Amino acid sequence: MSTLFDLNTKQSSKDSITQANPSPVILVTGGAKRIGAQIIKSAHANGYSVIVHYHQSQAQANELVDVLNSIRANSAAAIQASLDIINNPPALQSFAQQVINIFGRLDALVHNASRFYPSPIGQITHSTWNELFLTNAKAPLMLSQAFLPYLKDANGCIVSILDIHANAKPFNRYTVYNMAKSAHQMMVQSLAIELAPNIRVNGVAPGVNVFPEADSDQAISKPLQSKIVASVPLKKEGTPIDIAQTVIFLLTAKYITGQIIAVDGGRSLTLQGGDAG
């Protein structure tokens, strides 16, 4: 097996990057594309040094880091890891140390990485459970724990990317995903209490901000997409920027903890649960 994680060789020279770094530093899991990449870009535009965690999207991570470093030298790096590392305590500890070594600090941790696919009853396997719970619930908790000392030093914050379906409005045939995101939502509320007053913990709950890629196992059929968009009071799909703006707001909202902000065009107000509510 290859190493569990690798610092991306496309990052800027580590020696120059680890000089005393006055900028706040953010790590976004699954930050190479889609919503995660937009959070990275928006944080960077707001003065953060950014660490793009990725699993398989190496080319997109490299490209993003290169663009951001061309805007501001030594301000972006990428790190590769499967979230499986959280099941291996020495690997997790080592990953946390590698992340800290990049810029010497961590101010904000964004749990964005996720898997999303149906799990109809009768077809639920241990591997379904393990993958959906790993990415959507267990990794956010174990990563939060691993980065705790650094976030505490920085008086930092955690932002979890959740889902409006985590809030008692299940998406039909996605039981395991719904359960995992609900657990993640409870993590936000539990840690907000436990980590106060040093670390703030909040969540952002997208509605439909970017549909899964059509050729992926996460794809949603066109008719269902149309039905979902029609059910949104603002009558349109949201965008990654809508999510990223809310994350940036939460990074700076020093008197907010334990809150979950729905960014869903009003959909959670009318959502009944089920296919398209």
Ligand X SMILES: NC(=O)c1ccc[n+]([C@@H]2O[C@H](COP(=O)([O-])OP(=O)(O)OC[C@H]3O[C@@H](n4cnc5c(N)ncnc54)[C@H](OP(=O)(O)O)[C@@H]3O)[C@@H](O)[C@H]2O)c1
Residue 208 touches ligand X, criterion: CB under 6 A? yes
> In the window 81-100, what residues touch ligand X (CB under 6 A)?
82-83
Q: Is 255 a catalytic residue?
A: no
Q: Pick the stretch among 12-20, 54-62, 69-77, 251-259 that binds ligand X (CB under 6 A).
A: 54-62
Q: Looking at 206, 248, 262, 271, which residue binds ligand X (CB under 6 A)? A: 206
Q: Looking at 76, 100, 132, 161, which residue binds ligand X (CB under 6 A)? A: 161
Q: Looking at 109, 163, 200, 229, which residue binds ligand X (CB under 6 A)? A: 163
Nearer to ligand X, 196 or 234 (CB): 234
**Of 48, 54, 150, 177, which is the active-site residue?**
177
Residue 30 touches ligand X, criterion: CB under 6 A? yes
Q: Give the C-alpha separation, 220 to 236, whole Å.
A: 16
The nearest distance, CB 244 to ligand X, in angstroms, is 11
Nearer to ligand X, 105 or 115 (CB): 115
Residue 115 touches ligand X, criterion: CB under 6 A? yes
The nearest distance, CB 150 to ligand X, in angstroms, is 20
Contact string 128-147 vs ligand X (x = CB under 6 A): -------x------------
Residue 119 touches ligand X, criterion: CB under 6 A? no
Q: Looking at 5, 116, 171, 174, which residue binds ligand X (CB under 6 A)? A: 116
Q: How would you label 121-155 residue by residue, b for 16+ Cβ within 10 Å and e otherwise?
A: eeeeeeebeebbbbbbbbbbbbbbebbbebbeebe
Q: Which residues bind ligand X (CB under 6 A)?
A: 30, 32-36, 54-57, 82-83, 112-116, 135, 161, 163, 206, 208-210, 218
Catalytic residue set: 177
